[in-house]
Amino acid sequence: MRLKGKTAIVTGAGRGIGRAIAIGYAHEGARVVVNYSRSRDGAEETVRTIQAAGGEAFALEADVSRLQDHDHLISRAMEEFGAIDILVNNAGIEINEPVLESKPETWEATVDVNLKGAYFLACGVARVMARLGGGKIVNISSIHDVEPLRNRAVYSITKGGMLMMVKSLALELAGHNIHVNGISPGAILTDMNRKHLTEPARRDGLLARIPMKRIGDPEDIVGAAVFLASAESNYVTGTTIYVDGGLLLF
Ligand code: NAD
């Protein structure tokens, strides 16, 4: 068990990649705060899955885009588990919008969750980690942090920002024994994109560009997430691991 005795917060863990990471962390012995903003049923189901396997977890509502929710998230995690060793900034949204139809509301909503929420939550948790002697922060970005996605300009811009967030935080927090890294998934089948990725023409077009010849599952992200949260990555900081079946090679 590579995370035994550790406590993790995973944001947006009611479904998709966050859910898979929460379950994967618990499987490695971590106690998990399963954060959600809307997916309450999913978060409770994630907790039940963890508990049924003998793990410890609880569901906690907090909207990461609301900075006033961060104190509650951090203080409840501390009350319940007494430490925060790992933060996974997983919560994210993407809005389909051509550049020529761009609306300020799309910018604000996307930046508030994907960048501002992730950044200030990392800062708040890092203060706790610094006091406790260190920790691991893992940001879930996207291959679109380096490759633009048509009709998702704002999403791609926020993920590009996350790439620099990882490096900037890693540089300043290394002195506090806090490691900050990212994971950039390729095409992973989740509720975020199920309609898009299961449409036959799109799916076939995408598969033709993936050297590993399959669309990923949320569980494909867990190995990198465990590595970056565990002592195995103690000399790794400021980097981003691309988990994309080779999509970026194309
Ligand atoms: P998803 O939509 O299934 O899950 C995202 C979760 O985040 C949802 O449960 C949602 O309710 C939650 N969330 C959204 N806004 C929130 C907020 N303000 N506060 C708290 N939680 C909030 O999507 P997913 O595919 O599992 O995506 C997870 C992360 O992975 C995202 O950051 C996404 O950008 C990234 N990603 C996904 C893919 C993919 O192909 N699925 C590819 C690259 C990157």
Strand partners, 179: 136
**Quick check: 245 pLDDT over 90?**
yes
Give the residue-averaged pLDDT of 18-33.
Answer: 98
Instruction: Please give the sequence-ordered ranges of beta strands (E in DSSP) within the chain, or none if there are none.
Output: 7-10, 31-36, 57-61, 86-89, 135-140, 178-185, 240-243
Q: Could you count the other beta carbons within 10 Å of the beta carbon of residue 97?
A: 18
Of 25, 36, 155, 242, catalytic: 155
For residue range 159-209, list pLDDT tens digits in order.
Answer: 999 999 999 999 999 999 999 999 999 999 999 999 989 999 999 999 999
Question: Residues of 198-212 as b/e, b for ≥16 C-beta within 10 angstroms?
Answer: eeeeeeeebeeebee
The domains located in the chain, with CATH, are 7-245 (3.40.50.720)
Closest C-alpha to ligand 1, atom 31? 92
DSSP state of 244: S
CA 12 / ligand 1 centre spacing (Å): 6
Give the residue-averaged pLDDT of 63-88.
Answer: 98
Give the residue-averaged pLDDT of 132-158.
Answer: 98
For the CA of 65, the nearest atom of ligand 1: 18
CA 110 / ligand 1 centre spacing (Å): 11
**Quick check: 90 pLDDT over 90?**
yes
138 confidence band (pLDDT: 50, 70, 90): very high
- The whole-angstrom separation of Cα 208 and Cα 199 is 14
For the CA of 113, the nearest atom of ligand 1: 18
**Residue 155 appears among annotated catalytic residues:** yes
Q: What is the pLDDT of residue 162?
A: 98
Q: What is the pLDDT of residue 250?
A: 86
Q: What is the pLDDT of residue 229?
A: 99
Pocket of ligand 1 (CB under 6 A): 11-12, 14-18, 35-39, 63-65, 90-93, 113, 117, 140, 142, 185, 187-188, 190-193
Mean of per-residue pLDDT scores for the chain: 98
Region at 245 (left for phi over 0; alpha for psi -120 to 50; beta for the rest): left
For residue range 61-73, list pLDDT tens digits in order.
Answer: 999 999 999 999 9
